[in-house]
Amino acid sequence: MSQIKIAVVLLVAILLQLSLRGVWQPLSYIDFPLVVVVYIALQRDAWQALLVGTLAGLIVDAASGGLIGAGGFSKTLTAYIIYFAATRVNLENPLLRIPVLAAGSVLDSAIYVFWHRVLGNPPTVPFVQTMSYKLIATTVVGTLALYMLDALVAERSAQRRQFATRRRVARRSTGPLRRR
């Protein structure tokens, strides 16, 4: 069930990415597929994160003027690094997702542009300026999107929240005063 939900979310993210530039050019700075990739990597599901990263990157590459595979590579590597960090550091706190999203955006842009420069097809826009706009837009919109994804997709986090509430209630009922 969760796979189907992720597939639907990914499809919506890709469609948004393909269509929003036509509505208003600055909206293209928001990297929706990257937000989904970061979200899945934070769930500590390595295979799903890597596959979603590759798929999302390749589909966007197919419709873009850049090299096919560059987006796939950058998103896959970003997914792996975030997954690696999430398995070693506790990134469950919603506030910690903001720097993770920002770092993901910078990493994705840097790897994407690096491969284009190495393979002789450098992007035509100024790197630092574009990366900064992308970082701001993706982080701001992505933070909100992660909350929405939590509500829509995360069965695990919902279960975790339920367990936490139950545990708190149980502790209250067996507190030091009651024990006496």
Residues within the interface to other proteins (CB under 8 A): 14-15, 17-23, 25, 28-29, 50-51, 53-54, 57-73, 76-77, 112-113, 115-116, 119-121, 123-126, 130, 133-134
Min separation Cβ 52 and other proteins, Å: 11
Whole-angstrom CA distances from 27 to 19, 20, 105, 148 are 10, 6, 15, 19
Query: Nearer Cβ to other proteins, position 32 or 39?
Result: 32
Min separation Cβ 80 and other proteins, Å: 8
Virtual CA dihedral for 145, 151, 154, 157, nearest 10 degrees?
110
Tell me how long the chain is.
180
Min separation Cβ 25 and other proteins, Å: 7
Query: Nearer Cβ to other proteins, position 39 or 73?
Result: 73
How would DSSP label each residue in 79-129?
Answer: HHHHHHHHHHS---SHHHHHHHHHHHHHHHHHHHHHHHHHTT---SS-HHH
**Does the CA dihedral 33-42-94-104 come out positive or negative?**
negative
> Which of 89, 3, 94 shows the shortest CA–CA distance to 45?
3
Min separation Cβ 139 and other proteins, Å: 15
Min separation Cβ 45 and other proteins, Å: 15
